[in-house]
Amino acid sequence: MIMDLKPKRKKGYQSPQGMHDILPSEQGYFRKIYTVCEDIAQFYGFEKIDTPIAEITELFSKGIGISTDIVEKQMYTFRTKGRDWLTLRPEGTAPVVRAFFEHGMQNLPQPIKLWYFGPFFRYEHPQAGRFRQFHQFGFEVLGEQSPAIDAQIVQIFYNILKELRFKKLIVEVNSIGDSQCRPYYKKLLVSYLKYRADSLCANCKRRVRENPLRTFDCKEEKCQRVRAQAPQIINHLCEECHKHFREFLEFLDELELPYSLNPYLVRGLDYYTKTVFEIFSTSADGSGGSAEAQKKLSEGGEERDLSKNALIGGGRYDNLGKILGNERIPACGGAAGIERIVQVLKEKGSKIPQPHYPKIFLAQLGNLAKKKSLKLFEEFRKNRILLSESFGRDSLKAQLRSADRSGVTHTHFGPKRSIGRDYYCERYENWHSGDDKIRKSGKGDEKKIKKIIRIPLE
């Protein structure tokens, strides 16, 4: 189980802490999420991009911001034999912007709409919903500044969760201004926080100097009390940011997408400007909700037992192009944590479509039959007929047992030299000895056996 924080066993190799196998039984969830993303991407005109797992370290330290948690503490950075510093990608937006410039996409008709799906790496303290290797899918629109795009991005992520049958979703939105208005707001906030420094935790005292907005993310109760009285950025937006935010909200209203304003939502990455958003699911779906969302829900009499992990987060990042490519490219996007979505799907008991399993089992008796059956198996494949086999086993009994386990409804007996003709077997719910269930195909037998897949022998 990927989600279990299993205690480390002493013996044998284990996957690295915070990194997990995705077992066959869990592949269906990932496949389902991928298919939903792919369909939605196609509908909204997004094209898929895969960027490398590792990038030059500077891409993240410059792009995400030197004093963010990710760059400060969470990057897997290593030096190659060629003495380059590389980092396992902790997020997808900076690599997408790098690829945008590297491939001259700024010269193509704008906007450029890209989506991705893959593994990401952050050296975090492993806990529920927080892993060191995790998967995200993301949608990014580059080269468009209209707030309509911000609303559409939120709508896309909302739709994906709805397609995955999430019922109660909480969309939180905020604006964190831009390089015009944020510096002034930061000053205001710093002077407020300095005044209350005694009431802050040690971490937040440090954040006041380095990244004061990050104090809003602190889970410590005393810091949240300080936060509750802090000046709110939406009251200090410049005219342009204010207009952008107002229009963004109007678009959401028009789309009838339910959202709530969280004036303390700031997101952990420095590159955001203007719009930021996060999406949670409520406990009715199995998890979710920020402190603000919890408060609102409890006021509304809804379930209170909410975890604090967002499923999806994103926003506008108009300055990232300037930082990474020296060209201002307005852009907006977001990313979803796939493990967190899978966890909620599991908790909800969501039925995930299973792959098509074979209904026919190809059994063989004797060495020559085995050889011929191997070839026959390939014939089935060419004709796109699914079937299972147990070529490693000689005994008929063992093979039929294997057929039972694979849940097939019919067994086809491959060619047998001594008999030189086809044998068929009806599948029985509980077979006992094997041989007594084998039916020799003869005149009229086809009628007795419901489904016969007849393969002509050479």
Residue of 114, 276, 312, 360 interacting with ligand AMP (CB under 6 A) = 312
How many angstroms separate the Cα of 438 from the Cα of each of 26, 119, 376?
A: 36, 49, 20
Cis link prior to 111 (omega < 30° from 0)? Answer: yes
Under the phi-then-psi rule, with left for phi > 0, alpha for psi from -120 to 50, and beta for the rest, what region is 432? alpha
In the three-class reduction of DSSP (H, G, I as helix; E, B as strand; rest coil), residue 248 is classed as helix
Q: At what angle do helices 338-348 and 24-44 cross, to 10 degrees?
A: 110
In the three-class reduction of DSSP (H, G, I as helix; E, B as strand; rest coil), residue 8 is classed as coil
**Shortest separation between residue 311's beta carbon and ligand AMP, angstroms:** 5
Using rule CB under 6 A, residue 124 touches ligand AMP: yes
Using rule CB under 6 A, residue 321 touches ligand AMP: no
x/- map, 248-287, ligand AMP, by CB under 6 A: --------------------x-------------------
Using rule CB under 6 A, residue 335 touches ligand AMP: yes
Strand partners, 86: 56, 78
Using rule CB under 6 A, residue 136 touches ligand AMP: yes
Nearer of residues 5 and 190 to ligand AMP, judged by Cβ: 5
x/- map, 88-107, ligand AMP, by CB under 6 A: ---x----------------
Using rule CB under 6 A, residue 310 touches ligand AMP: yes
**Which sign does the torsion angle of CA 50, 52, 54, 57 carry?**
negative
Tell me how far apart the alpha carbons of residues 321 and 332 are, in angstroms, rounded to a whole number: 11
Residue of 30, 100, 131, 272 interacting with ligand AMP (CB under 6 A) = 131
Using rule CB under 6 A, residue 172 touches ligand AMP: no
**Shortest separation between residue 350's beta carbon and ligand AMP, angstroms:** 17
- Considering CB under 6 A, how many residues would be counted as binding ligand AMP? 18
Tell me how far apart the alpha carbons of residues 261 and 193 are, in angstroms, rounded to a whole number: 22
Structure tokens at 427: 């599948």
CB atoms within 10 A of CB 21: 9
**Of the candidates 333, 354, 221, which has an alpha carbon nearest to the alpha carbon of residue 269?**
333
Nearer of residues 172 and 389 to ligand AMP, judged by Cβ: 172
Among 122-130, 236-244, 367-375, 394-402, which window interacts with ligand AMP (CB under 6 A)? 122-130
**Which sign does the torsion angle of CA 403, 406, 408, 412 carry?**
negative
Nearer of residues 118 and 268 to ligand AMP, judged by Cβ: 268
Residue of 62, 130, 348, 359 interacting with ligand AMP (CB under 6 A) = 130
Using rule CB under 6 A, residue 311 touches ligand AMP: yes
Judged on CB neighbours under 10 Å (0-12, 13-18, 19+), 3 is: middle
Among 171-179, 218-226, 282-290, 335-343, which window interacts with ligand AMP (CB under 6 A)? 335-343
Task: Looking at 265-366, list the stretches that DSSP marks H as alpha helix, in order from N- to C-terminal side.
Answer: 291-299, 320-325, 338-348
Residue of 147, 177, 333, 337 interacting with ligand AMP (CB under 6 A) = 337
Nearer of residues 93 and 145 to ligand AMP, judged by Cβ: 93
Using rule CB under 6 A, residue 408 touches ligand AMP: no
Using rule CB under 6 A, residue 344 touches ligand AMP: no
Residue of 30, 60, 134, 157 interacting with ligand AMP (CB under 6 A) = 134
Nearer of residues 143 and 288 to ligand AMP, judged by Cβ: 288
In this structure, what DSSP letter does residue 127 have?
B
In this structure, what DSSP letter does residue 107 have?
G
Using rule CB under 6 A, residue 140 touches ligand AMP: no
Binding site for ligand AMP (CB under 6 A): 91, 122, 124, 129-131, 134, 136, 268, 310-313, 335-337, 339-340
